[in-house]
Every structure is written in C-alpha cells, then in structure tokens.
Amino acid sequence: MKIKIDDQIHLELIAIKHAQEIFNLVDSNRTHLKQHLSFVDKMQTVDFAINFAKGTIEKNKLGIEYAFVIYFNNNPIGRIGIYKIDLQNKIAEIGYWLDKKEEGKGIISKSLNSLIKFCFDELKLNRIEIKCGIENSKSNAIPIKFNFKFEGVIRQGEFINNQYIDLNLYSLLREEMQ
C-alpha cells in the first residue's frame, strides 16, 4: 500500500524490502533517535530490521498496525504509523520519527494529516492518541498543531536509555474533525 501525500512525499507500508533502508536510517541517526525512542539500541543488525518488518507485516494482516516508511523525493527518510489498534474500542496510537537532516520541512505534518484521514475514513476509528516524551519539544508540537487535546502526563510511561520517562498524552476524536 502506498499513500501519496504530495509530489515529493509518499508513504509505503513496510515490507521486507524496506529492512535495509530502515536499518540504514536508524544507524545514521542513532544518536539523534535514541534520545526519544526505545528501540534504537536494539536495532544493531539488518536481521533485526528484517524481523521487525516481518512482525509489522503480520500485525498489518490482522488490522492492528499500519507502519509506513516515509519517502521524500523517493528517498526513505523516516517512519510513521498507526499502532496498537484496538478494534473493539476503535482507538489507535500514531508514532513517527524522521532523519534529523529532514526535520523542519513539514514532512511529518503532511504525513500525519493523511494518516488522520486514513484512521477516521478508512479504519473507522473514533480516537487517535499520540504519546510524546515530555522533553521532546519537536514531537510535542505536532499533536498541538493538529488540535489534539492534551489529556495529561503518563508518569514513567516509557523506559528509554536505562531510565523511565514521563509521556504527554494527546488525543483526537472523530467528532472533533471539521
């Protein structure tokens, strides 16, 4: 599955063929990404990325995850996805990360806009959540820009770099979409 965002940006549902690209992106952004993401230290080989892709493909078949590689001018530059889809309650989380040198170009915002529509129109979800480390100001700016409601802090909600960090929880409901 591909989602065209604009003439420069498109999303591709993760497949095995993306494993090397994902590994290379993580490896070249290791210091940048590990500040805010728990999986970075675990991804030490392409085999890890292949197993990750296999797991993602299985979750996609079950309809409980849609993880995409972000392409900018046909180059892979990051990931965005819909995770932890709760089909019973029609809730999911969205997460994202980007190559450091591609930040500040509006790529995540444009990609998120399309994923929000996909969540509500195609998946028929009622609620989307975004969780961000409280220290990650760039990531926190995204849900605020899209009028997600701040619901509070999840104390010690994630274990990163051998410590628990607090997460800000944001949500957007279907009825809040204009």
CATH code where residue 75 lies: 3.40.630.30
Task: Report pLDDT digits (tens) over 68-123.
Answer: 999 999 999 999 999 999 999 999 999 998 999 998 899 999 999 999 999 999 99
pLDDT of 178 higher than 70: no
Q: Give the pLDDT score at 160.
A: 87
- Examine residue 74 and state whether it is found in any structural domain, yes or no: yes
Amino acid at site 41: D
- Examine residue 146 and state whether it is found in any structural domain, yes or no: no
3-class secondary-structure state, position 135 = coil
Q: Are 3 and 69 in contact (CB under 8 A)?
A: no
- Examine residue 115 and state whether it is found in any structural domain, yes or no: yes
Task: Report pLDDT digits (tens) over 26-68.
Answer: 888 888 877 777 777 787 888 888 998 999 999 999 989 999 9
- Examine residue 162 and state whether it is found in any structural domain, yes or no: no
3-class secondary-structure state, position 172 = strand
- Examine residue 143 and state whether it is found in any structural domain, yes or no: no
DSSP β-bridge partners for residue 79: 69, 97
Centre a 10 Å sphere on the Cβ of residue 116 and count the other Cβ atoms it contains.
19
- Examine residue 174 and state whether it is found in any structural domain, yes or no: no
3-class secondary-structure state, position 153 = strand
Structure tokens, 63? 């309809």
Compute the average pLDDT of residues 13-17.
94
Q: Give the pLDDT score at 45.
A: 87
Task: Report pLDDT digits (tens) over 150-174.
Answer: 999 999 999 988 899 999 999 999 9
The residue among 99, 71, 78 whose CA lies nearest residue 8 is 71
- Examine residue 95 and state whether it is found in any structural domain, yes or no: yes
Please tell me the total count of domains within the chain. Answer: 1
Dist CA 167 CA 134 (whole Å): 5
Q: Give the pLDDT score at 116.
A: 95
Domain coverage including residue 36: 2-128
- Examine residue 161 and state whether it is found in any structural domain, yes or no: no
Centre a 10 Å sphere on the Cβ of residue 135 and count the other Cβ atoms it contains.
12
